[in-house]
Amino acid sequence: MGCGGSAPAEAVSAPPASNGAGNPIKAGSASESRNVDQILERAKAEEEGKIKMLLLGAGESGKSTIFKQMRLLYGTERSDDDLRMYGVVARSNIVVAVRKLCSHIRNLGLEEELDRESRENEELEEGDHSSMTCRQAYDELMAYLVDNTATASAQDPMADMGGKKDWVGQSPRAGLAANNDAKQFLAHHESIRILWQSNTMKQVWAKRSAVNIIDSHKDYLNDISRIASPDYRPTTQDVLIARVRTTQVVMEKYRIDNIDFEMYDVGGQRSERRKWIDCFDQVTAVIFVAALSEYDQTLAEAKRTNRMVEALELFRSVCNNRAFSNTSIMLFLNKKDIFAEKIL
């Protein structure tokens, strides 16, 4: 058998690498993949080093106040827009408190007491020397703020400001109801001041727990003239005690001693608690806030339920929740000063 001669073999290049789907891998993609992996590793390390804190507790226990104090200590300063919103809220909070107090005067049958005090002040020429008595102030507030039976238009809020522009004005962020209440405050702030300074109102304030008035709003009521001024800018204390119902999960980020913190504030009312579960993942610590001063108050959403009993039941359920089996839980007993004032 003869063998035919073979020609010299030509150099054959290896086929390009494939990613398994028939698509060639581009040069440099391996290094890009390593970069992505490194970025993911760094992000994972940062996430693991972050401290996530969750504020829990019943409604009006003081969670949002603690949340605001943390921002005051470690966060950014409030903008003018923020301050204008809190200015509207402060004025609205006063009107809400006055509505409850005026209704409580009627429920307690103290209207005759107002008449007697008004007559005594006129006879002795003591007390407030304005043209309005405490009974007249009460009647005006009942007509405009409680019963809505007033037939005359309310005074123009700008009339007492001498045409000077009100710095706070209105804030869309505060909501329609709060802005309307703030207008009512400016129109009737003198009546509010006169009634608040009466001896009858001191009796009503001592029994405020029956109508669930926020205790710290006494600071607002003691400073009506400043809050009604066109130059009014909310102070730090005004911001801290402003009551805005939390209806969504709010988060703030802080960096303290080179450690990243995330703090979450949630609504405490029963209708808001279903949203809590969205915040349970990878929580480092839970701060449960309970107000000591609420031992004699009932829930706004359940008038027959004592607030302290509700806080105890809620704290028990949080401690027994499997999502927090490896989570630190801290109990923060709030409003100690108001508690001491009530029992002493």
Q: Which helix (H) or strand (E) holds 226?
A: helix 224-228
Residue type, 11: A
Residue type, 309: V
Whether 60 sits among the annotated catalytic residues: the reply is yes
Whether 269 sits among the annotated catalytic residues: the reply is yes
User: With contact defined as beta carbons under 8 Å apart, do 180 and 174 qualify?
Assistant: no
State both tokens at 24. 């060639």
Q: How many residues does the chain have?
A: 344
Whether 243 sits among the annotated catalytic residues: the reply is yes
Residue type, 216: S
Q: How far apart are CA 109 and CA 112, in angstroms?
A: 7
Catalytic pick from 140, 166, 265, 294? 265
Catalytic pick from 71, 173, 233, 243? 243
Whether 119 sits among the annotated catalytic residues: the reply is no
Q: How far apart are CA 344 and CA 339, in angstroms?
A: 9
Q: How far apart are CA 186 and CA 91, in angstroms?
A: 8
Whether 65 sits among the annotated catalytic residues: the reply is yes
Catalytic pick from 65, 133, 184, 200? 65
Catalytic pick from 170, 269, 298, 305? 269
Q: For the chain, how long is the longest CA-to-CA vector?
A: 147
Could you give the residue numbers annotated as active site? 60, 65, 243, 265, 269
